[in-house]
Structure 1
Amino acid sequence: MVHPLDRPVWNALHSRQAHLAIGGRKAVGYQRPYAMFIAGADHSEESLAAMAELVPEDGQAALVERERWPLPPGTRVVADAVIVQLVAPNGITGSEADFPFRELGETDEPDALALATLCRPGPFFARTSALGGFIGVRDEGGRLIAMAGERMKVGEFTEVSAVCTHPDHRGRGLARRLIGIVAERIVERGEIPWLHSYPDNEAALALYESLGFRRRAEVNYTIIERD
């Protein structure tokens, strides 16, 4: 049986995040201010051509698929990696809900984008933090120094994403606390947290597994652009 997280982009944009979708019957993508992910219905020429139309003229698009996906016509690969997908089906351990953090809203979007641009946790756009559940920590001067939030939402599964800490404030356990809080909130809503990590990031994998995440699968993460 195909797991919904084997095709997270397609399934998110045909379920809880359908309101954020662009495209049509053969290919869909997130509205550009939110994310760069696209997905096709199948490997047919029609679907691949529809996917190609969703790749911006002056930008990039990304695929997240467990199965290796054909390249849409007129595009080329910019980056390609196999990443680890983890889920926490039995809940979260070690969450510190009393940790002092702030809810991030629309007025925080510029600061969230600036922090993500510095830390590069993955594709992040002007309105990515509006996908929900973003929390953060600011220093005494008001600068946003750490954050985490939610991104793709596939049926009962909600992704923890955009986890980053300013280089000047690493080693304080901020990421662990923020991930734990975001994931615990997801569990409290009756949903299952999940996330991605690079397989060679042993420190991150150890952190996620200490919170209750378990490795589910390896998936292909491919960034493409027009030729």
Structure 2
Amino acid sequence: MNFSPLDNPIWNSLNSEHRSLATLHGSAGRFSPDVSPLVGMLDGTETAFDDLAFVLSDGTRGATFTAYPITVPAGWESQQRVINQMVCTEVTEFRTDGVGPLGEADVPDMLELAATTEPGPFGSETISFGRYYGIRTDDGRLAAMAGERLALDRFVEISAVCTRAEFRGRGYASSLVSLIAAGILDVGKVPFLHVKTENEARIVYEKIGFSVRKPMHVTAVNKI
């Protein structure tokens, strides 16, 4: 399989499965801030940054990740780091303990959980990306969640994987990610995700069937 679309997944998502959520201008694009602060560019040229300045004309900050480092031109503030991209072609460990679907009515609880656990950007309309699942306690608290984010022609990203501190170590992340990954594979697509290089969650994902594909360069920018 050709995995090269994952070298620039945000741009390719903006121009394919998530075109309806995109604002595009030339060689740059973004999602609505309520959906995600992620932005994409065709490449890292100054022309692409000029187009990005147009789509970020409201002064908001954007972030992208690519398989190659981006040189940020003058006139921009930036922060850069490296994360790992992982892919899964077969789920080797499958659990569904206590997992249930999440919908619009669950968004307040999802926002509170994301604010508490900080899995990455999560806004009031992030659920528009795709299917989300959670695990609730007996008293109804949302203890853990995960869902789909970027969608390309042949790939779907798993994101927002998070568990409250007091419920970690119970296999909740494994149950959520394995269920979502299996669902993606069932429709003929390949699940992928991104994890910080120092995050021990990588071991959990490897047990499910994910493997590191390559390092990805995260570039967060705002126009000065």
Q: TM-score scaled by structure 1?
A: 0.92
How far the C-alpha of 1:57 sits from its partner, in A, is 4.2
Deviations 1:125-163 (A, max 9, x none): 111123111000111221111001000012211001100
2:43 matched residue in structure 1: 42
Q: 66-75 vs 26-35, which deviates more? A: 66-75
Select 1:197's aligned residue among 195, 198, 201. Answer: 195
Q: Does 1:220 align with 2:217?
A: yes
1:15 matched residue in structure 2: 16
Deviations 1:13-61 (A, max 9, x none): 1111111110222211112211111122233332211112333645321
Q: Is the 8 A contact 1:81 1:221 kept in 2?
A: yes
Q: Is the 8 A contact 2:163 2:173 kept in 1?
A: yes
Number of aligned positions between the proteins = 223
Q: Does 1:154 align with 2:152?
A: yes
- 1:72–1:116 distance in 2 versus 1, CA, 3 Å: farther
Matches within 5 A, 1:162-181: 162-181=160-179
1:80 matched residue in structure 2: 80
- 1:8–1:63 distance in 2 versus 1, CA, 3 Å: same
- What CA distance in whole angstroms lies between the structure 2 residues aligned with 1:19 and 1:69? 27
- What CA distance in whole angstroms lies between the structure 1 residues aligned with 2:43 and 2:209? 33
CA RMSD of aligned residues (A): 1.7
Matches within 5 A, 1:22-41: 22-41=23-42
Q: Is the 8 A contact 2:100 2:135 kept in 1?
A: yes
- 1:183–1:118 distance in 2 versus 1, CA, 3 Å: same
- What CA distance in whole angstroms lies between the structure 1 residues aligned with 2:59 and 2:28? 19
- What CA distance in whole angstroms lies between the structure 2 residues aligned with 1:223 and 1:114? 24
> 3-state SS of the aligned residue for 1:141?
coil
Deviations 1:144-202 (A, max 9, x none): 1100100001221100110000112111111111111111111111110100111112x
1:206 matched residue in structure 2: 203
Matches within 5 A, 1:101-116: 101-116=99-114
- What CA distance in whole angstroms lies between the structure 1 residues aligned with 2:51 and 2:74? 9
Q: Is the 8 A contact 2:25 2:52 kept in 1?
A: no
2:138 matched residue in structure 1: 140
The amino acid of 2:191's aligned partner reads P
- What CA distance in whole angstroms lies between the structure 1 residues aligned with 2:40 and 2:211? 25
- What CA distance in whole angstroms lies between the structure 2 residues aligned with 1:49 and 1:35? 21
For structure 2, the 5+ residue unaligned runs are none
2:95 matched residue in structure 1: 96
The amino acid of 1:32's aligned partner reads P
2:6 matched residue in structure 1: 5
Q: Is the 8 A contact 1:36 1:61 kept in 2?
A: yes
- What CA distance in whole angstroms lies between the structure 2 residues aligned with 1:42 and 1:176? 35
Q: Is the 8 A contact 1:101 1:137 kept in 2?
A: yes
Q: 120-129 vs 55-64, which deviates more? A: 55-64
How far the C-alpha of 1:72 sits from its partner, in A, is 5.3
For structure 1, the 5+ residue unaligned runs are none
